Each structure stands twice: as C-alpha cells, then as structure tokens.
A and B are shown apart, each in its own frame.
Chain A
Amino acid sequence: MVCEMENDQIEDMEVEVLSSMWPEDIEHEAGKQFNVEKPRGDQDMLEEVTIVEEPTIVDFQHLIELTDYTDKGSSQLAYLVKHWEYKQANAVRLLREELDNLSRQRQESELKKLEILEEHRFEEERYGGDKRSISILDGIYDIWQEVPRRKNNIVVPSKRVEIDAEYDTVIYWKQRATHLEKMLEASMQREQLLKEKLQESIKNLEKQSSPVEELSQILKRADNFLHFVLQTAPVVFGHQDKELRYRFIYNHFPSLQEEDILGKTDVEIFTGSGVKESQDFKKEVMDKGLPAKREITFETELFGSKTFLIYVEPVFSKAGETIGINYMGMDITDQVRKREKMIKLREEIAVRKAKETELNRTIHITEETMRAKQMLATMSHEIRSPLSGVVSMAEILSTTKLDREQRQLLNVMLSSGDLVLQLINDILDLSKVESGVMKLESTKFRPREVVKHVLQTAAASLQKILTLEGNVADDVPIEVIGDVLRIRQILTNLISNAIKFTHEGKVGVKLYVVPEPPFAKEASQCVSNGSTANQSTTNISEEETCTSMSQTSSDQRGFHGKKHEGSSQNHSQSEPGTRVRNGTIDTSEEQAELLETTVWIRCDVYDTGIGIPENALPTLFKKYMQVSADHARKYGGTGLGLAICKQLVELMGGRLTVSSRVHCGSTFTFILPYKVSLSCDSSDDPDDLSDMDDHGATNDDATASFFQFQPRTLGSLFSSNGSSRTQRLLPHNVGYCCANSHKLNGFSETSYSFPTGNGRTKEMDLVEDACSVAEAVEISSEPESSFSHSPDLHNESPMCSDKHHQNDVNAETKASTRDVSSCSETSRDIDVKTKIREPQLPPKRQERPDSSSQSSQEVSNSISKPKILLVEDNKINVMVTQNMMKQLGHMIDVVNNGVEAVRAVQRHSYDLVLMDVCMPVMDGLQATKLIRSFEETGNWDEAVKAGIEQPSTFDSLQPDRTHPKHTAIVAMTANALSESADECFANGMDSFVSKPVTFQKLKECLEQYLP
C-alpha cells in the first residue's frame, strides 16, 4: 500500500521532469505539450505500441558529457537525484514511524508484564500477612486505561481471566499464573511478527532504492514516449557540436547509417542546394547565441527537393560558452508547395483582375472611340452630301459661259471643293475600315484595264512634265477577282501621291505575279485545312503556268530589266516579241485554268521623286502623318491617303511596303491575293463576250502589257489601246485626231510581224516633240497634236485594213467625244495657261469622256425613249422624283413596293429601275434579288417562291431573248451609313443614290445607266 502511493507520486514528478527536457520555447509555443493522462498502467499503454528504436542514433558518451557540461543537463540530473533522495527520505520516515509504533507497543507489553508480576507478589504477601482484598479485575482495569486507543487494530486478547477456582485457593493462583503466562506468550509472538514485518519492509526498501535503475527507467519511459509521439512525425532533430558535427540525430526516415552521420557536418553528409545555407544558418545561430527559425529548401540527391522549417537553438556550457546547437527540422514541402500554389493563384487572380479592369477600360475606350468614329463618319457623310451639291453645281457652272476671271475663281472653287470632298471620303473610308463595316466585294476585273484607267486618269490631271508608265507582266491573268474599286482606290492614291512628290522623271506602275509571300503562308497556316488545300492547288497551277510559258517569263524579266534601266524607248525592241506571245499565252492560260485559284500579284508604284528620309518611314502609314510639317505646307494633303491604302491592302489580306531613297525616288509595293476565275467568261458576262467578238479592241486592251502617258501634251491621248466603251455609236465622219492610238490596235491585232514598237516610237517622238513645244509655250492643245499625227494614219492605214472599219468606229467615237469637249476646253486651256499661268484645272472633269459622250447619248435616247421604273412608297418622294424626271425629259412608271416592282419588271423590260430600299410588303433589296435571279436563270422561280404570281401574259417578254438583259437597278437609300450601300451591291444593285434625290443626282444616274 505504501509502495503504491509512492508510485503515484513518482509518476507525477516524472511528467514534470520530462517536460523540462524539451526545448523551452516549444513548450511555450504549444502550452503544456505533454498533458498526458496519468498513465496508471502506463507501461501497459506503451507496451501495446511497438516502438522501433532504430531511428535514434545517440552518441551516449557525448550525451553524458552533455548532461555533465550543459546547464540544462546538470540541472536535470540534479533534479532527478533530489527527487530520488526525497523519495528515500519519505520511505525512511514511514519506516521510522512504524518502528516507533512497534517499540511503544513493546514498552506497554513489558509494563504489563511488570504489573502482572507485582500483582503476583502482592497476592503472595497478602497471602502471607496483609490480608487486604483487591479485586484483580479492578486492577487490571486500571492498566487497560493506559493502552493507546488507536492501536485498536492490534488484536489484544481479552484480559479478563475467567477463573473457575475459588479465590485465594492454590488452584486459583495456579490457574491465574498459567493464564498470565499465556498472555505473555501471545505478546511475545506479536512482537516477533512485527519484527519480521519490519525486516521485510526494510528489505523491500533496499530492493527499490537503486538510483540508476530509477533513472534509467524514467529515461526509458521518456524515450518510449518520444518514440510513440514522434513515430510518424516528419521531423528530424538532433544536436550538433561546436564544429557542427552531428552528435545526436533523430530522423524518422533515415537514409544514412549511424556512422555516416555522427561526427560529420551537413556539408560532409550531403551536397546540393540548401545544404550550405542551412550550415550557414546554424553557424549564424551559434555566433549570435539566439535561437532562430528559418525555412530552407533543399535540393539534394539524398532526398530530392524538400523544404524544411528549421529551428536552431544554441546550447551553452555552464560557463556560458556555446558548445553546439540543437536543431529541429520539419518537412513542410507540401505546405510550401500549397502555399506557393496559393500565392500563385492569388497572383493569377490579381493579374486576371487587373486584366479585367484593363480590358474594361479598353472596351470603354474602344466604345468611345467607336462612337467618336461613328460620329465622325456620320458627320462626314452629312457634310459630303451638301458639299457634293456645291461641287456639282460648280461643275455645271463651269460649263456655262464665263469670263476669264470668273473661270479662274470657279476653278479655285472646284479644286478646293474637290479637296474637301476627297478628305471627307478619306475619313469615311478610314472609319469604315477601322470600324470593320468595310465589306469587300468580289468582282471580276482586268488588272490591265485598271492600271490603264488609273494612269489615264492621272495623266489627265497631270500638271507636271512627267512620264506615266504602266507595265503588266504577261503572267498576270487577264481577269482576276477582287475588290476592283478598292484596288483602284489604292492604285490611284499611290500614283497621285507619287505624282505629287515627283517633279521630273516618271511615275510608273508595275504588275507581276509573285509566289505566295511568307506572311500569307504564316497566316494561312493558322487557318483550317481547307485553305491549305487551296494553296497547294494554287502552287501547282502556278507551276503549270510557269512551265507553259517559261520562255515568256524569262523574256519578261529581261524586258523588266530594260525598263528598269530607265529610258522609255528601250522597250521598243523587246516589245514585238512580248506581244506575239501574249496572244498564245492567253489561250494556253485559259486552257490551263480549270479551277479557281489564288494568285498573288505584286504591284510596284515607283517614282523618281523627292524620296522619303529613312526616319520618316515608320510614321509614313500613320494617320495624319506626313514626312514633315514642311512637306505638309508645301504639298498639302491630309496624310490620310497612305493610311487608308495600308488599311485597305491589309483588309484584303495583302501587304503594303515602301522603299525609298532621298532625292532618288520611292517605290510603294503592295502584294495582294486575287482569285482567278477559271470558268468560262462568256456565261458571266455576255456583253463582254460580244464585245470581244465584235471588236478586237477589248481583247487587246485586256492583254496589253505596257501603257505610257507622256507629259501633258496628250492629256487623254494615251499611247496604248483605245477604249471600246462607246463603240456602239455609228460613225458620221471619221475623226483623225486620235486615230493614231487606235491604229495601234490594228497593228497588234492584225499583223504580228508589224513591229508595234515602231508605231509607238513614232508616237513617242511625236510626243516628245509636242513636249518640247509644250515646254516652250506650255500649250498643248489637242487639235495640234492630232494634226501632227494624221500623216501616220494615212501611211499606215492600208496595212490594217481588215480591222480598219472597227478602228474607224473607235476613232469616230473618240473623235466625237473630243469634238464636243475639246472645243471649249481648248479655249479654256489656252486661257488659263497663257494668261494665268497657273494651271489650276481639275482636268479630270474637263476631259471626262463620259460627260461628252453622254450628250450624244441623250440624243440617241430621245429617239427611243428609255423605260424607267420608280419603286417608291413615299408619295411625296414619288411626286418629287417624278417631277424631276419630267424636267429631265423622262416619263416614268411608278410602283409602290417590291412586289409591284417585280410584277412591273415581269411585264415590261426597263432600262433603269430606281428602287427605294425601305418599303412595305417587300423591300428593294429583295425585289432586286428576285429580278437578278430572273436575269440569271431566265425564270421567275425565285419570285414565285417569294409569293409573286407568274404573269399570265408573257407576251411582253420578247421570245428571242434567251438571256434577259441586265436591268440597271439603282438603289435610293435614306440610310446615311455606308453599310447599306454594301448591302445594295450585295443584292445585285448597280449603284445607289442617297436620299433626298436631287436633280443633280438623278441626272448623273441617268447619264451613267441609260445607254
């Protein structure tokens, strides 16, 4: 029982002792870390757990040294000893108490014995003399009084002695004596028993009381406890001495043997990143003498990449010297990884949020910009309409009789108006492209024609002595598909730019096929397979064409080369050859083309102008940017042109680049993809076909590869083939003024043997002559130059007799047009040039063949009245338009919606339909689509599908008309924004007039569309 009590106490103390073995701040951190349930069956509890004792590697000797040397170790030892002493003392005290107890009992029993003996003597005395009678029982009673009460547990046999015999007899005394003797014996026995117990107790005490055993037991328990707790904890702890050599280490996942670790430093044990750091950290702690924590990431061969949170505390000797460190490391790789992931996530979130706000801002800005642009576009549009009114009126005014001063003023007015109009158009175009509403059309066109027309137009307005030349390589297809309007716009822009900055020399255009450029390949690689397949076919076909005309291309190259060298006369030698091949190639090309392919055509616009300094190149294509403010002043312009060109080219999937040398000239190059249509032309464009059949001129026009426009002299007299646009008019009188150019047609067409170059050279000479004249007097009126041409015509006319008639037709056409226009122009020209010496003319207008030819058209119109249909639901609009038409000399039919329009077209064939777009029942777009469908298929199935009855009387449709002719349909749109124009074109309309319809607009429209 005593032992057990002691045990309890010891357990209590053990706990305290153990806790003090731990580093102090761990205890602080976690409070009372070892709050363990009192292990009543403590050993049992731990016995159930199998403890692997291997992980601990202890240098025992050092441990003992440690306990001796360090404060903590010694205090701990002292504590243990003190505790042991206390325990022993306690045991001794208890034993002593027991001993006291026993000895007192012994005293008492001896005392009793003495009394008993005395009593006996008294009895004998009384028995002898003194006869005083004392009751024994009374006396005994007295004795009992002195016995300590608490010793109740000691069994004392009853003192009352029953004596049967009669008092004071011998028997009585004898009996009494034996009785007492028995009592004594019992007492003796008890004493013996107690003595034995004492002995046993002492022995027991002796057995328990070895301090080493006690201590080792405590230690063992602590050890077990530690193992139990740390069994699977990812911790390593240990002690390192002053030199940072391991003296003790606990590692749950040991990968090294004891001898590999003990007595070695970190650096000696493993290598890799982090090792050095931890070593340095430990050193630092040791030097500073303050505990510290740090996170170190190890990257070692031994255990891979792991992060440890390391706690290091210095260990001091009793003298206060640092003799080593304790360190504890915990593997926090996962936590670190998680933490890093969290950080990364947080960062990402932050970045995303930032992006979002950025994006929102951008969206906001974009919206604002879009709105601003829209605004600008709307404004520009609103400005354009009245302005065009002003300009058109001025134009008309210019055709009236004016005196010189008035004309001069008017010219200034016109050129200013043109400029503003151009600027507004530029702004509109730009905003269209930028806002993405610009839609590209795909129409078939002839690049040669485009180049020629653009140059022609430029030549017409040329006010400098410059040579304009165009050169289209033979490998460029006759017809390609693209947005001809835009391409024309780009070309016009680049050429007018070139002209603007070129004061002498020439401006030219070169067109040739190039292989697919790398930028397009890059782009197309991202696109789906379909397009790549397309490309491959392209390549093949390109190869085919290459082989089929390898000779040509090489020749062509030579031709180019010569041209490059400069003098425009050079090509006269190579010209005939090329020409000949042209014809053959055309056919072979047409045969080779079986599929629709893409062809990349490069266009160089070169000049011999002032050039562009290198530092200005980067900003060249920026909006409102010009090379310098000085240039802007000197040359004017808005700086929008190139930006538009670039945007348009890029919109079409091409590239616009520039190379330039100051004072030598610039070359703007754009490469664009075009579709090449391989289907037969005839089905698409019957008119064209008939043209080609009837008049070789068109064909020639399509294949001509070189155009040249000499300075000013020949304003509209171009050296290449004549236009065939107005061929239908029959000749009244053969004009000779510009027959020269047509004659060339004849040559090229009829006899290949005849060197075309000759004609050209002659002409050129003439031109040069004229030039010199022009330079001298600065006058070059057309009649003069044409007169000088006339002998040529006479000389050569017999040779081209077979085509002569046709040429005559052409020539006549030209003549008639020119007759009309040149009369007034000539006089005006002279006026301006000689007197004013300020050629401010916008000759585009003056030399416009349309305006003049139209006058003759009107004559022909009056003969057979054209039928015009107005489709408009607004009564007022109808009234106004009708009246205007009446003024223009036309009676018109009026219907009120698309359905009625379709019905009307079913009944009559109209030369022109003016179609409102927004109408009830059926809008103009759909009606147009239906009419176009009829024109294509020859039946009204689409219309029937749309719910319009087939006309019962078909008589109005000429039975011979297998191919219904193309009805000119002009949209009348109230929508200011240009996308509706695109919509109009998309639905097959030929053109559009924006509302309100004005006299001028109607007139222009009629001029354009009535034959």
Chain B
Amino acid sequence: MNIVNQLQRQFIDFSTSLHREGFVDDQFTQLQKLQDENSPDFVVEVVSLFFEDCEKLINNMARALEQTQGVDFKQVDASVHQLKGSSSSIGAMRVKNACISFRSFCEAQNREGCLRCLQQVTHEYSLLKNKLQTLFTLEQQILAAGGSIPVVD
C-alpha cells in the first residue's frame, strides 16, 4: 500500500512537472481522460503512434534538408504541418511550438533556420519520448503494484 501511494505521488509529481515544464498541455490530459476500461491502453497507443509518425516525419525532413541546393520546402512544410497537427492533437506542446517556428522558416525558405528547427524538434521529441516513457513506466508500476492511476488535473 505504501509503495502504491509513493508511486502515485511520484506519478502526480511527474505529471505536474510535465505540465509545468510545458512538455504536455491540457490536450494530453484530455487524452488521459479518454482512456477507460474499453480502451485501457489508449494513451500509450496514441503516443506510440505519434512517436512512430514523428520519427518518420523527422527522417523525411532531415532527408529533404540534406540537399544543399533546391530543398523541397513544400514537402518539408507539409511534414511540419502534419507533425504540428499530431503534436497538438496529443498535447505535445513543446514539439508543437517548435513546429510553429519551423513553419515560419519553411515559408521563408530558410534552410539554416529549418535545420536549426529540425534539430530542436528532434531534441524536443526525444525529450518528450523519454519523459513519457518514464510516465508510462510509472503507470505500469502503479498498476503492477495493484494501485489505480491517479487523475491529474
């Protein structure tokens, strides 16, 4: 019981910090709320899908931006757009914000800026991935310890 409490507290603290540091926003909370008995792994599913998507898109963009000449900014922009849509959908705020500035560089056809942004997006993405993995691990630990996942508002 004690360990469950501890884990739960840890979970709450961690979630709060995620929110506070802007890794996720309310949209993520909404996702969590969508998770119920009918779809117990909803958040993990969505987030995994997001990470897959993210990786693919980042690779696409990196490839497109590798060209020193004639970068297909339209394609990059489309990818960023998609990434922005996905990230805002799951509430990955920092990734989304990085995407916003990324788009403006795309519009300006600024390769340097794009590369910087891509780096940032990649950075944010991996940070988020780590954080969420930690969060999910905590969740599993709580569940494994027989506790229920607390609702964080």
A residues neighboring B (CB under 8 Å): 386, 389, 873-877, 879-880, 883-884, 886-887, 918, 920, 974, 995-999
Q: Which of B27, B30, B31, B78 counts the most chain A CB atoms within 10 A?
A: B30
Q: Which of B41-49, B107-115, B121-129, B130-138 contacts A (4 or more CB under 8 A)?
A: B41-49
Q: Does B66 contact A (CB under 8 A)?
A: no
Q: How far is the CA of A875 from the CA of B49 in the complex (A)?
A: 8
In the complex where A883-B39, A999-B33 touch, is A876 in contact with B50 (Cβ < 8 A)? yes
In the complex where A876-B53, A880-B31, A884-B34 touch, is A389 in contact with B26 (Cβ < 8 A)? yes
Contact size range, B: 20 to 34
B153's nearest neighbour on chain A, judged by CB, is A393
Contact A887 B34 (CB under 8 A): yes
List 17 interface pairs A-B (beta carbons < 8 Å), by A numbering. A874-B86, A875-B49, A875-B86, A876-B46, A879-B45, A880-B89, A883-B31, A883-B34, A886-B38, A918-B85, A995-B88, A995-B89, A996-B88, A996-B91, A998-B27, A999-B30, A999-B33
With A876-B90, A877-B86 already in contact, 17 other A-B pairs whose C-beta atoms are closer than 8 Å: A386-B26, A874-B82, A875-B86, A876-B53, A876-B85, A880-B34, A883-B34, A884-B30, A884-B34, A974-B88, A995-B85, A996-B88, A996-B89, A996-B91, A998-B30, A999-B30, A999-B34
Contact B53 A974 (CB under 8 A): no
B42's nearest neighbour on chain A, judged by CB, is A883
Q: What distance in Å separates the Cβ of A918 from its nearest Cβ neighbour in chain B?
A: 6
Provide the residues of chain B in CB contact with A877, threshold 8 Å.
85-86, 89
Contact B86 A876 (CB under 8 A): yes
A880's nearest neighbour on chain B, judged by CB, is B89
Q: Does B19 contact A (CB under 8 A)?
A: no
Provide the residues of chain A in CB contact with B85, threshold 8 Å.
874, 876-877, 918, 974, 995
Q: How far is the CA of A181 from the CA of B55 in the complex (A)?
A: 155
Q: SS class of chain A's interface: helix, strand, loop or mixed? A: helix
- B9-48 near A? 1/0 per residue, CB < 8 Å: 0000000000000000011001101101011001001100
Partner pick for B46 among A389, A880, A995, CB 8 A cutoff: A880
Q: What distance in Å separates the Cβ of A441 from its nearest Cβ neighbour in chain B?
A: 27
Q: What distance in Å separates the Cβ of B142 from its nearest Cβ neighbour in chain A?
A: 22
B45's nearest neighbour on chain A, judged by CB, is A879
Q: Does B94 contact A (CB under 8 A)?
A: no
Q: What distance in Å separates the Cβ of B135 from its nearest Cβ neighbour in chain A?
A: 18
10 pairs of A and B residues whose beta carbons are closest in the complex: A876-B86, A996-B88, A877-B89, A883-B34, A874-B85, A880-B89, A876-B89, A996-B27, A996-B89, A876-B50
A872's nearest neighbour on chain B, judged by CB, is B85
A393's nearest neighbour on chain B, judged by CB, is B26
Q: What distance in Å separates the Cβ of B90 from its nearest Cβ neighbour in chain A?
A: 6
A998's nearest neighbour on chain B, judged by CB, is B30
Q: How far is the CA of A995 from the CA of B99 in the complex (A)?
A: 14
Provide the residues of chain A in CB contact with B39, threshold 8 Å.
883, 886
Provide the residues of chain B in CB contact with A996, threshold 8 Å.
27, 88-89, 91
Q: Which of A389, A880, A995 counts the most chain B CB atoms within 10 A?
A: A880
Contact B84 A974 (CB under 8 A): yes
Q: How far is the CA of A389 from the CA of B26 in the complex (A)?
A: 9
B38's nearest neighbour on chain A, judged by CB, is A886
Q: What distance in Å separates the Cβ of A919 from its nearest Cβ neighbour in chain B?
A: 10
Q: How far is the CA of A918 from the CA of B38 in the complex (A)?
A: 31
Contact A879 B88 (CB under 8 A): no
Q: What distance in Å separates the Cβ of A122 from its nearest Cβ neighbour in chain B?
A: 138
Q: How far is the CA of A389 from the CA of B29 in the complex (A)?
A: 13
Q: Which of B78, B88, B90 counts the most chain A CB atoms within 10 A?
A: B88
Q: How far is the CA of A386 from the CA of B42 in the complex (A)?
A: 24
Provide the residues of chain A in CB contact with B31, threshold 8 Å.
880, 883
A378's nearest neighbour on chain B, judged by CB, is B100
Provide the residues of chain A in CB contact with B45, threshold 8 Å.
879
Contact A879 B84 (CB under 8 A): no
- B73-116 near A? 1/0 per residue, CB < 8 Å: 00000100110111011110000000000000000000000000
Partner pick for A876 among B33, B34, B38, B49, CB 8 A cutoff: B49
Q: What distance in Å separates the Cβ of A117 from its nearest Cβ neighbour in chain B?
A: 135
Provide the residues of chain A in CB contact with B91, threshold 8 Å.
996
Provide the residues of chain B in CB contact with A999, threshold 8 Å.
30, 33-34
Q: How far is the CA of A456 from the CA of B109 in the complex (A)?
A: 52
Q: How far is the CA of A96 from the CA of B36 in the complex (A)?
A: 154
Q: How far is the CA of A697 from the CA of B106 in the complex (A)?
A: 56
Q: How far is the CA of A790 from the CA of B90 in the complex (A)?
A: 54
Q: How far is the CA of A883 from the CA of B86 in the complex (A)?
A: 15
A997's nearest neighbour on chain B, judged by CB, is B89
Q: What distance in Å separates the Cβ of A976 from its nearest Cβ neighbour in chain B?
A: 9
Q: How far is the CA of A181 from the CA of B134 in the complex (A)?
A: 168
A996's nearest neighbour on chain B, judged by CB, is B88
Q: How far is the CA of A201 from the CA of B21 in the complex (A)?
A: 133
In the complex where A880-B89, A880-B90, A997-B89 touch, is A918 in contact with B81 (Cβ < 8 A)? yes
Q: How far is the CA of A402 from the CA of B89 in the complex (A)?
A: 32
Q: What distance in Å separates the Cβ of A504 from its nearest Cβ neighbour in chain B?
A: 44
Provide the residues of chain B in CB contact with A884, threshold 8 Å.
30, 34
Provide the residues of chain A in CB contact with B50, threshold 8 Å.
876
Q: How far is the CA of A887 from the CA of B42 in the complex (A)?
A: 12
A884's nearest neighbour on chain B, judged by CB, is B34
Q: Which of B81, B82, B89, B90 counts the most chain A CB atoms within 10 A?
A: B89
Q: How far is the CA of A879 from the CA of B41 in the complex (A)?
A: 12
Q: What distance in Å separates the Cβ of B40 from its nearest Cβ neighbour in chain A?
A: 12
Provide the residues of chain B in CB contact with A874, threshold 8 Å.
82, 85-86, 89
Provide the residues of chain A in CB contact with B53, threshold 8 Å.
875-876
Provide the residues of chain B in CB contact with A879, threshold 8 Å.
45-46, 49
Q: How far is the CA of A880 from the CA of B31 in the complex (A)?
A: 7
Q: How far is the CA of A884 from the CA of B78 in the complex (A)?
A: 26
Provide the residues of chain B in CB contact with A876, threshold 8 Å.
46, 49-50, 53, 85-86, 89-90
Q: What distance in Å separates the Cβ of A426 from its nearest Cβ neighbour in chain B?
A: 25
Q: How far is the CA of A886 from the CA of B39 in the complex (A)?
A: 10
Q: How far is the CA of A698 from the CA of B72 in the complex (A)?
A: 56
Q: How far is the CA of A995 from the CA of B34 in the complex (A)?
A: 17
Q: How far is the CA of A998 from the CA of B85 in the complex (A)?
A: 13
A883's nearest neighbour on chain B, judged by CB, is B34
Q: How far is the CA of A873 from the CA of B83 in the complex (A)?
A: 12
Provide the residues of chain B in CB contact with A920, threshold 8 Å.
78
Q: How far is the CA of A875 from the CA of B86 in the complex (A)?
A: 8
Q: How far is the CA of A998 from the CA of B33 in the complex (A)?
A: 11
Provide the residues of chain A in CB contact with B36, threshold 8 Å.
887
Provide the residues of chain A in CB contact with B27, threshold 8 Å.
996, 998
Q: How far is the CA of A918 from the CA of B88 in the complex (A)?
A: 15
A976's nearest neighbour on chain B, judged by CB, is B100
Q: What distance in Å separates the Cβ of A299 from its nearest Cβ neighbour in chain B?
A: 64
Q: What distance in Å separates the Cβ of B24 from its nearest Cβ neighbour in chain A?
A: 12
Provide the residues of chain A in CB contact with B82, threshold 8 Å.
873-874
Q: How far is the CA of A412 from the CA of B85 in the complex (A)?
A: 35
Q: What distance in Å separates the Cβ of B42 from its nearest Cβ neighbour in chain A?
A: 6
B36's nearest neighbour on chain A, judged by CB, is A887
Q: How far is the CA of A399 from the CA of B23 in the complex (A)?
A: 31
Provide the residues of chain B in CB contact with A886, threshold 8 Å.
38-39
Q: How far is the CA of A876 from the CA of B88 in the complex (A)?
A: 10
Q: How far is the CA of A877 from the CA of B91 in the complex (A)?
A: 11
Q: Which of B39, B82, B85 counts the most chain A CB atoms within 10 A?
A: B85
Provide the residues of chain B in CB contact with A873, threshold 8 Å.
82
A1000's nearest neighbour on chain B, judged by CB, is B30
Q: Which of A873, A879, A886 counts the most chain B CB atoms within 10 A?
A: A879
B54's nearest neighbour on chain A, judged by CB, is A876
Provide the residues of chain B in CB contact with A995, threshold 8 Å.
85, 88-89
Q: What distance in Å separates the Cβ of B45 from its nearest Cβ neighbour in chain A?
A: 7
Q: How far is the CA of A974 from the CA of B31 in the complex (A)?
A: 18
Provide the residues of chain A in CB contact with B88, threshold 8 Å.
974, 995-996
Q: What distance in Å separates the Cβ of A708 from its nearest Cβ neighbour in chain B?
A: 44
Q: How far is the CA of A527 from the CA of B42 in the complex (A)?
A: 61
Q: What distance in Å separates the Cβ of A393 from its nearest Cβ neighbour in chain B?
A: 9
A878's nearest neighbour on chain B, judged by CB, is B89
Q: What distance in Å separates the Cβ of B143 from its nearest Cβ neighbour in chain A?
A: 20
A390's nearest neighbour on chain B, judged by CB, is B26
Provide the residues of chain B in CB contact with A918, threshold 8 Å.
81, 85
